Amino acid sequence: VAIDRNPRALEFGRLNAALNNLCNIEFRLGDLFEPVEGETFDSIVTNPPFVISPETRYIYRDGGMRGDEICRRIVREAPRFLSEGGFLQMLCNWIEHGEQDWADGVREWFDETGCDAWVLRSHTQDVVAYASKWVRHTELRETDSWIPRVEEWCSYYKALGIERIGSGLINLRRSSGRPHWFLADEAPATVFGACGDSIRGRFEARDFLASISSDEDLLERYFHVSPHARFQSRSVPTPDGWQTEQASLELVHGLSYSGKVDIAIANLVVHCNGERRLGELVNEMAQAVGAEREKIIAPVCSIVRDLVDRGFLLLASAEGHGRPRTHTD
Ligand SMILES: C[S@@+](CC[C@H](N)C(=O)[O-])C[C@H]1O[C@@H](n2cnc3c(N)ncnc32)[C@H](O)[C@@H]1O
């Protein structure tokens, strides 16, 4: 089902569907969720008119509501239209105030939605840069109207106390019967191809991590290194040969998280083949680095949790099969 308030947008949608040989799309004219009242969906994807502006002239850009109210309203209304476990994904702009942490402005949107929420920030702009970028969409820079229009936008921000505007992707998952989580973090600098699997994978990883009661519980589990993980190291010459100066892990598909890694941890990661318990691998690591097992368990488990959360390590089935478990299992 595809919804738009502008009949012309629906006509373009129909044209694109025909060009792509898609016959299973129903186009409905209407305001936000109004054309689907009473229905639920497994996936809602929206690129709404999220631009924060004093204007209402351009329906593709200006939602016609004060500040970031249109995105807030979509977040508040979407759960009613999601089936259990269903996702909303929305491109979004939000207001950031003063010294406040950027996530504080949006956190409240998700209260009592009955959903887990993950806000991925791509960037933040000060209001002058933001207004200049969007006004340039519709006014030529050379014309007399450009500067007054930017000034008009900036006066609007001043009146509302808006200093910066954040941009990113909101992911919402409806899930009943347990406490909900809210996560706000930075999108990785690089993205490779489609990110749907990475996003769904992180929701599943967080479900799994929430179910782990202790480090000992985690050590009983089986993991599999992601096929998209890559290891890089840089070495310096020494009289005894090359010595590793810096090593890092990176994901080369979807959300491309990366970070420095200790060589011993990198070795543990690559030996996660789904057939040996994490605890066994940590025992071997302790021996290899000459450390006391009990002393390294807490820091290693903390790093493993992070590697699971970011998708470097995938949960294998409890019996220890070699194949990674994916959301389609
Ligand atoms: C940023 S464009 C996105 C267009 C297209 N869906 C896409 O993702 O490329 C925003 C679209 O939202 C439509 N729109 C604006 N206000 C709306 C509303 N209240 N209800 C439904 N659609 C709306 C506009 O007509 C425009 O087509």
Report whether pLDDT(221) > 50. yes
**How many CB atoms lie under 10 A from the CB of residue 241?**
7
With beta carbons less than 8 A apart as the criterion, state whether 325 and 315 touch: yes
Query: Comparing 17-31, 132-146, 189-203, 277-291, which segment has the lowest mean pLDDT?
Result: 132-146
> In 3D, which of 145, 59, 46 has the Cα closest to residue 89?
46
d(Cα 85, Cα 174) in Å, to the nearest integer? 5
CATH T-level topology, domain 215-315: Outer Surface Protein A; domain 3 (3.90.930)
| pLDDT at residue 318 tops 80 | no
Q: What pLDDT sits at residue 317?
A: 72
For the CA atoms of 35, 40, 46, 52, the dihedral, rounded to the nearest 10 degrees, stands at 70
Q: Does pLDDT of 309 surpass 80? A: yes
Which residue has the least CA distance to atom 11 on ligand 1? Answer: 60
Instruction: Give the residue, out of 1, 5, 31, 46, with the most ligand 1 atoms within 8 A of its beta carbon, to mutate for a pocket test.
Output: 5
CATH label, 38-187, candidates 3.40.50, 3.30.70, 2.40.50, 3.20.20: 3.40.50
Select the more confidently predicted residue: 176 or 32: 32
CA atoms within 13 A on the CB side of 110: 23
Q: Which of 8, 47, 52, 77 to mutate to test the pocket of ligand 1 (most atoms within 8 A of CB)?
A: 47
> How is residue 278 written in tokens?
């994490």
Instruction: Find the 26 Cα to ligand 1 centroid distance in Å.
Output: 16
pLDDT at 27 over 60: yes
- Phi, psi dihedrals of residue 313, rounded to the nearest 5°: -115, 135
Q: Are strands 164-174 and 191-192 parallel, antiparallel or unpaired?
A: unpaired
Tell me the mean pLDDT in the region 304-317.
95
Residue range 78-132, pLDDT digits in tens: 999 999 999 999 999 999 987 889 998 899 999 999 999 999 999 999 999 999 9
Domain ranges, ordered by start, for the chain: 1-30, 38-187, 215-315
Find the helix or strand (DSSP H, E) in which 103 lies: none
Ligand 1 atom 24: the closest Cα is on which residue? 60
For 28, left (φ over 0), alpha (ψ -120 to 50), or beta? Answer: beta
Cβ neighbours, 10 Å, residue 78: 23
pLDDT for res 327: 45
